[in-house]
Amino acid sequence: MKKKLVVLTGAGISAESGIKTFRDSDGLWEGHNVMDVATPEGWHKNPALVLDFYNQRRKQLKEVEPNLGHQILAELENHFDVYIITQNVDDLHERAGSSNVLHLHGELLKVRSSKNVNYILDWQDDLNFGDLDDNQNQLRPHIVWFGEEVPALEEAIAITRKADYFAVIGTSLQVYPAAGLIDFTARETPIFYIDPKPIKIPNLRNPLDVIPEVASEGMKILKKKLTEFI
């Protein structure tokens, strides 16, 4: 049986494809205060702004391609049982060929009912006022905003507990609850941490291998290290 490789990915892996990170150094996301476009309060205050913002993100997504980091993760399925838990809302992992991708924070190419969290639709184009669910409720982006529950968290924890190897790629480990997933790994599970500016991980019980590189370069190194275990 293949060993289970569980990978937590963040904005750093998508940034190399040209997608702006969720919160740049100025605290903005594509020029917008995240509280205006990524909170329930922002949605209620100015839904037109929120709809336009995610429409623009959807258009941007169609203009970019998966990068080497995404591609190597997909290739690792030849040797490992790979599960990707991503904080990213793009579909670059899927487009690169990864089979098992769990989106913690929602997906740009889906929308959901503003009243029924279980009413979810695939959505490729603009989302506008008047786009409704079956009960005539406005549809909204299928994004987990600040202050909202993370529905996929329990599944992510269950996947993490089964990891033989756990990798963290392109995330600052500052956004919770995603950052807390590392605490659910078994004590003996080796952890690989790829980030050009890695932080210290407090109270970590596991063997840790820090790779201070951007995602694509770090993935080359990780692939070499992992294939030594085969």
Q: Which residues are catalytic?
A: 105
* Token pair in block for residue 89: 């809302």
Helix (H, G, I), strand (E, B) or coil at 229: coil
Beta strands in the chain (DSSP E): 4-9, 28-29, 32-33, 81-86, 101-103, 106-113, 120-122, 139-143, 165-169, 191-194, 208-211
Are 12 and 120 a contacting pair, CB within 8 Å?
A: no
Q: Do residues 67 and 17 lie in contact, with contact meaning Cβ atoms separated by under 8 Å?
A: yes
Residue 193 has, within 13 A of its CA and on its CB side, a CA count of 19
How far is it, in rounded angstroms, from Cα 83 to Cα 156? Answer: 10
- Distance, in Å, from the CA atom of 126 to the CA atom of 105, rounded to the nearest integer, reads 20
Take residue 96 and report the two structure tokens written for it: 């690169």
CA distance 102 to 147: 20
196-202 long-range contacts, CB within 8 A, separation 24+: 196/12, 199/172, 199/173, 199/174, 201/173
